[in-house]
């Protein structure tokens, strides 16, 4: 009954958005209320569940997306993105620029949360696309595949890190195995898959389109790279420091505060305001106008992603995630495949990779901890791979990609959803191969 209800909600969501052309945020509210009632949440509590889901999701992404959009707008308007694009093309050549961006995405994806990395890299992708008249999905998808793989497979991201702890796995071995799986997954889901998507017509979000500027008016190379990558550098530095300093003293607490993603984004915004704004001759009124336009352009994205959080909340509050996991646990499958399958179905149902991974961990951990034949490091990766499967209309990442690239639902499904599923399947395949080799 639970699976049928979730399937009905997903179909209803698709019909509301694609057939009736209802705004996705409103569609999510309708589906969330309907699903909550059908799954047995009391009438007086279903609205609270929706509000909590909206608030929790909005609160976790609002600063990152809004401030990230401001930084991105300034990077584009100042000419810094144009400078960075030119340096990359000169270094790698237009023929290999896709690979250059993919490598950048992988490097910055290790310390960054997915949403943060996505928002920070979008201006760079669009600058390359517009300046050299390239296909946006073809150029951008490999970088986003790299961000997705690091989010699902590699510590220190929340889900893999929590899975390592829950399964009593070894962080170092998990990271090494994860890197071994990440390379083929990114290549196949990125450059290889994107070759089939060149015919997709894309008109990316206008806020990151900047007029071509003369060379002499562009900011310097160091200034452009330093300012654009400052959030990444601050997060890497704080992460490395906190991994070595476990004293819990005042310095540790200060670094933890300054290394929190919203604080990092604010610090980076202040620096960018000076280095790419004031220092480049912009007055504060003009800079403020750019910031206002940036937030306006991403406001609908914020609401849509928050709406997906409302749907996730009613499924979680109703206990649907546990019902699904318990049902699947009765299947007699190879443990690594079972872990992947439970995470995949919860991901498809709830839309959140992190929730899918953590829910699966709670269900399957007794099996892992009491069966010495199961490699806990590989189980972390199997569950992580399953948690990336088939991102669709109930996933905030799906809407980020769709709205920033300004795609139709059909084109988002055939690009983004296929990419995520490809990463997931290659991840599972790699886990099974490693299990056969090292067992």
Q: What is the DSSP string of 338-363?
A: HHHHHHHHHHHHH--HHHHHHHHHHH
Distances (CA, A) of 205 to 62, 98, 149, 283: 18, 20, 24, 25
Rounded to the nearest angstrom, the gap between the alpha carbon of residue 173 and the centroid of all alpha carbons in its chain is 24
Residue 70: partners with Cβ closer than 8 Å, 6 or more residues away: 269, 290, 291, 294, 295
Do 351 and 391 touch, CB atoms closer than 8 A? yes
Residue 111: pLDDT above 60?
no
Looking at the predicted structure, is the pLDDT value of residue 325 above 70?
no
Pick from 192, 159, 184, 187: nearest CA to 382? 159
* Dist CA 18 CA 2 (whole Å): 24
Q: Is the pLDDT of residue 157 over 70?
A: no
pLDDT score of 25 more than 90: no
Model confidence over 32-62: pLDDT tens digits? 899 999 989 998 899 999 999 888 878 867 8
- Domains held by the chain: number: 1
Q: Vertex 316, ends 338 and 328: CA angle to 5°?
A: 20
The per-residue pLDDT for range 293-313, each reduced to its tens digit, is: 888 877 877 787 788 778 878
Residue 171: name the closest of 185, 159, 190, 154 by CA. Answer: 154
Mean pLDDT confidence for 195-200: 88
pLDDT of residue 208: 63
**Gap between the Cα atoms of 33 and 43, Å rounded:** 10
Could you give the CA distance from residue 338 to residue 341 in angstroms, rounded to a whole number?
5
pLDDT band (50, 70, 90) for residue 364: confident
Q: What is the mean pLDDT of the chain?
A: 85
Distance in angstroms (rounded) separating the CA atoms of residues 434 and 317 = 37
What residue numbers bound the domain in which 209 lies?
Answer: 2-438
User: Stretch 144-171: mean pLDDT, rounded?
Assistant: 81
Tokens of 295: 């937030």
Residues 6+ away with beta carbon under 8 Å from 270: none
What is residue 100's three-state secondary structure?
helix
Which range among 321-325, 360-364, 396-400, 433-437 has the greatest average pLDDT? Answer: 433-437
Separation between Cα atoms, residue 419 and residue 424, nearest integer Å: 9
How far, in Å, CA of 347 to CA of 106, rounded?
23
Q: Is residue 28 predicted with pLDDT exceeding 60?
A: yes
Q: What is the predicted pLDDT for the residue at 375?
A: 94
Buried b / exposed e over 120-149, threshold 16 CB at 10 Å, is bbbbbbbbbbbeeebbbbbbbbbbbbbbbb
């Amino acid at each position: 009954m639970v699976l049928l209800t979730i399937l009905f909600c997903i179909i209803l969501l698709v019909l509301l958005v694609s057939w009736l052309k209802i705004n996705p945020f409103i569609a999510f509210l309708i589906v969330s209320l309907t699903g909550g009632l059908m799954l047995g949440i009391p009438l007086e509590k279903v609205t609270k569940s929706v509000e909590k889901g909206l608030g929790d999701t909005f609160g976790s992404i609002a600063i990152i997306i809004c401030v990230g959009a401001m930084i991105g707008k300034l990077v584009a308007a100042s000419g810094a993105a144009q400078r960075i694009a030119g340096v990359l093309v000169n270094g790698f050549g237009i023929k290999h620029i896709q690979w250059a961006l993919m490598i950048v995405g992988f490097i910055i994806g290790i310390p960054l949360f997915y949403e943060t990395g996505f928002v920070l890299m979008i201006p760079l992708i669009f600058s390359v696309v517009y300046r050299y008249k390239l296909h946006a999905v073809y150029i951008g998808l490999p970088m986003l595949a790299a961000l997705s793989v690091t989010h699902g497979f590699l510590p220190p991201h929340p889900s893999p890190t929590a899975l390592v702890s829950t399964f009593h796995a070894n962080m170092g071995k998990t990271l090494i195995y994860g890197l071994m799986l990440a390379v083929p997954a990114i290549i196949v889901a990125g450059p290889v898959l994107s070759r089939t998507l060149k015919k997709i017509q894309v008109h990316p979000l206008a806020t990151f389109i900047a007029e071509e500027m003369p060379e002499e008016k562009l900011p310097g190379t160091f200034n452009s790279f330093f300012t654009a990558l400052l959030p990444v550098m601050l997060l890497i530095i704080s992460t490395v420091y906190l991994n070595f300093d476990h004293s819990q003293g005042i310095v540790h607490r200060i670094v933890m505060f300054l290394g929190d993603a919203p604080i990092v984004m604010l610090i980076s915004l202040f620096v960018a305001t000076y280095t790419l704004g004031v220092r480049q001759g912009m007055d504060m009124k003009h800079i403020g106008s750019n910031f206002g336009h940036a937030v306006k352009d991403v406001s609908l994205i914020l609401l849509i992603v928050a709406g997906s959080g409302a749907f996730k909340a009613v499924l979680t509050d109703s206990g649907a995630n546990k019902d699904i996991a318990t049902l699947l646990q009765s299947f007699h499958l190879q443990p690594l495949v079972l872990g992947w399958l439970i995470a995949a179905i919860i991901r498809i149902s709830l839309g959140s990779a992190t929730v899918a991974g953590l829910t699966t961990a709670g269900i399957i951990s007794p099996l892992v901890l009491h069966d010495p034949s199961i490699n806990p490091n590989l189980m972390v990766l199997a569950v992580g791979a399953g948690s990336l499967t088939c991102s669709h209309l109930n996933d905030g990442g799906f809407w980020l990609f769709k709205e920033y690239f300004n795609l139709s639902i059909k084109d988002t499904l055939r690009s983004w959803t296929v990419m995520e599923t490809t990463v997931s399947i290659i991840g599972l395949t790699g886990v099974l191969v490693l299990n056969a080799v090292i067992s």
